[in-house]
């Protein structure tokens, strides 16, 4: 089962999100989509979900992805699922087939898994794509994470208690953070941890190992990376993903004001990491 969180104040799913959902369906997943921030779902989106047998829900905005996932969990829809994939609409892709990646992850047997594990702040699975087995999901520590009142939290608090807290709960239960890409054993990352979706974005897409681009990276470019302007050249024609979807998104969503601007040291680190990543 996949619980998919989307922010859709107009009640409509954009083409890039529809593309992602159709690719999740190819993995054999029973997909539940929750649209946050709207009171009515458009007929176009309802028909799309009906055609592809997605179950679609809507809710007031609040609590970000963890609030949306808890909304679905509270509906009791996860009770019979052998494993649950938590995903959201914060990425563009996939730019390579998803089913082989889930097979490589051993999604049906591993207790906890994701596409990217990072040492930034504390070792954790990035929450935009995380899977848990039924047994793992029912662990008391994990249940506590999903029962928190995310609607009353700030974005930073949700990151701390949700994304980071989930991996802390997994590790406290003795579970490893299984991911297709990890910097867990990287000596340099121990000293200078980065967000891999910002520092390794080109090699991720080129290799097909993590075939997604973060919206935040292309929209805000928080570390002022000059290479970002060349994102279009990375999208494989055979992926079926239309780069014009990204162009349309960027035209409608100007860069956001960052709560905390990057420092010159941070910008220097990410520029160096991007230079090194370009040779991978």
- Tens digits of residue pLDDT in 56-101: 999 999 999 999 999 999 999 999 899 999 999 999 999 999 999 9
Residue range 2-277 in CATH 3.90.550:
yes
Range 9-37 average pLDDT: 98
**DSSP conformation class of 231:** G
Mean pLDDT, range 260-275, rounded to an integer? 90
**pLDDT of 129 over the 90 cut:** yes
What distance in Å separates the CA atoms of residue 114 and residue 102, rounded to the nearest whole number? Answer: 9
Q: Which two tokens stand for residue 94?
A: 């996939």
Tell me the per-residue pLDDT of 199-216, one tens digit each, with 9 for 90 and over.
Answer: 999 999 999 999 999 999
Q: What are the residue boundaries of the structural domains of the chain, listed by start? A: 2-277
The reply to whether omega before 94 is within 30° of 0 (cis) is yes
pLDDT of 141: 96
Q: Which two tokens stand for residue 91?
A: 């990425």
Residue 134's pLDDT band, with cuts at 50, 70 and 90, is: very high
pTM of the full structure: 0.96
Percent of the chain with pLDDT over 90: 90
Euclidean distance between CA atoms 251 and 254, whole angstroms: 7
pLDDT value for 259: 67
Which helix (H) or strand (E) element contains residue 240?
none
Residues 6+ apart with CB under 8 A from 276: none
């Amino acid at each position: 089962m996949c619980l998919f969180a989307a922010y859709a104040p107009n009640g409509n799913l954009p083409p890039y999100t529809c593309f992602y959902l159709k690719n999740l369906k190819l993995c054999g997943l029973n997909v539940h989509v929750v649209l946050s921030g709207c009171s009515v779902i458009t007929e176009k989106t309802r028909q799309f979900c009906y055609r592809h047998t997605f179950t679609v829900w809507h809710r007031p905005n609040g609590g970000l992805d963890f609030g949306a996932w808890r909304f679905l969990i509270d509906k009791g829809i996860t009770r019979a699922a052998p494993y649950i994939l938590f995903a959201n609409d914060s990425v563009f892709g996939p730019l390579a087939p998803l089913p082989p990646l889930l097979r490589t992850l051993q999604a049906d047997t591993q207790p906890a898994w994701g596409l990217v594990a990072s040492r930034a702040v504390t070792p954790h699975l990035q929450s935009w794509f995380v899977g848990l087995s039924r047994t793992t999901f029912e662990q008391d520590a994990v249940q506590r994470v999903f029962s928190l009142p995310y609607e009353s939290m700030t974005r930073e608090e949700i990151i701390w208690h949700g994304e980071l807290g989930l991996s802390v709960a997994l590790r406290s239960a003795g579970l490893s953070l299984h991911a297709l890409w990890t910097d867990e054993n990287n000596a340099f990352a121990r000293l200078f941890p980065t967000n891999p979706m910002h520092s390794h974005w080109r090699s991720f897409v080129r290799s097909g190992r993590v075939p997604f681009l973060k919206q935040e990276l292309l929209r805000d470019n928080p570390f002022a990376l000059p290479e970002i302007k060349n994102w279009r050249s990375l999208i494989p024609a055979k992926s079926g993903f239309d780069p014009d979807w990204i162009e349309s998104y960027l035209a409608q969503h100007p860069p956001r004001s960052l709560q905390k601007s990057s420092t010159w040291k941070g910008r220097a680190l990410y520029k160096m990491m991007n230079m090194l990543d370009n040779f991978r």
